[in-house]
Amino acid sequence: MSGGVDSSTAAVLLKGQDEEIVGLSMQLWKDNGRCCSLDDLWDARRVATHLGIPFYVLNLEKDFENTVVRPFVDSYLQGETPSPCILCNNYVKFHHLVDKAAGIGADRVATGHYARVRYDGALERWLLIRGKDRNKDQSYFLFGLTQEQLSKTVFPLGELTKPEVREIARRAGLPTSDKAESQEICFVQGRSYADFVEQYAGIQTNQAGEIVTESGGVVGTHSGIHRYTVGQRKGLVASGRPQYVVRIQAELNQIVIGDDPQRARFTVRDPNWIAIEGLTEPIRCDVQIRNRFEPKPSTVSLSNGEVTVEFDSPQRAITPGQAAVFYWDDVVVGGGWIQR
């Protein structure tokens, strides 16, 4: 229970099915304004009291810092653009919640994510499927779940739309029914990503470096590679035509700029497979390379031991550090992290 309307409504639905439920919240980051903050924990406790269910708070601040915050900062300093919410789902939320559930005698864990889980008898695998509400679907952020985790996970909101969830919450009299959603990364709340990285990493010295063209010509200077991401157009040198960040060379402290960066091919590291046991031959699927990106037809294959994605047509801003998730229609085949 995060203290928001979605997880609160998930609890309402489960209780309405006569499930015996226990509310668990995670204390993740002491210095934030929304999402798992102290105010959110209080809201979650209010909902649990309203529903008459036991409620406990897990202090996971150390794990959250080690597995989410530090990799987030390191990724930016290495010229990548991280996806901390996916790391949080993979290594904090589901990892600890599944273990904690077993420890208190619970069979399953439920969250307020907009996604669906189904067991496929023919494949003999648990499947992760997009939520019915495509505008709220969160399957992209859950691609790292294992078969064991999926077998113990329930998504009560998977068949609902956001307006339907709000209405259920209002009818149930939940104190969070009209609570606004946070659109920011919880631990960065109210600051720019670059400012957070600098503060956390204790950067005191000048991080300036060169802005160069793809042919190597120096055309300007930057104030730190952590302030840039592939596909970025703002904050670059003045030119007679639009220029974009096409590559970040962390080892040289350089930002490489050029025309609109469109590529068709990239590699993926640390893949996790859901609908298949592993990749043994090329497969056709639709690939999503960031949130709010419409998946595009692709071929995913193994090349020299690496997972390689080849879009049917070039796409802009294929960004190292972001997740690439593979779909068969609404079914998540698997996914991994964009490498190069």
Q: What tokens were used for 2?
A: 């995060």
Which position among 35, 36, 85, 186 bears the catalytic label?
A: 186
CB atoms within 10 A of CB 232: 20
Q: Is 147 exposed, middle or buried (0-12, 13-18, 19+ CB in 10 A)?
A: middle
Q: What tokens were used for 45?
A: 């406790």
CA angle at residue 281 from 90 to 297, to 5 degrees?
70
Residue type, 170: R
Global pTM exceeds 0.85: yes
CB atoms within 10 A of CB 171: 10
Q: Is 85 a catalytic residue?
A: no
Tens digits of pLDDT across the chain (340 residues): 989 999 999 999 999 999 999 999 988 877 654 455 678 899 999 999 999 999 999 888 899 999 999 999 999 999 999 999 999 998 888 888 888 888 888 999 999 999 999 999 999 999 999 999 999 999 999 999 999 999 999 999 999 999 999 999 999 999 988 888 876 677 887 678 888 898 888 876 568 899 999 889 999 999 899 999 998 888 787 777 788 999 999 999 999 999 887 899 999 999 999 999 999 999 999 999 999 899 999 999 998 889 999 999 999 989 999 999 999 999 999 999 999 8
- Taken in order 136, 83, 231, 238, is the CA torsion positive or negative? positive
Q: What is the number of alpha carbons within 13 Å of residue 52 lying toward its C-beta? A: 6
Which position among 35, 36, 85, 88 bears the catalytic label?
A: 88
The C-alpha atoms of residue 271 and residue 336 are separated, in whole angstroms, by 4
Residue written as tokens 């779909």?
A: 327
- The residues, any chain, with a CB within 8 Å of residue 236's CB and separated by 6 or more, are 211, 220, 243, 244, 245, 255, 257
Q: Is 88 a catalytic residue?
A: yes
238 contacts 299 by C-beta, under 8 angstroms: no
Q: What tokens were used for 47?
A: 């909902």
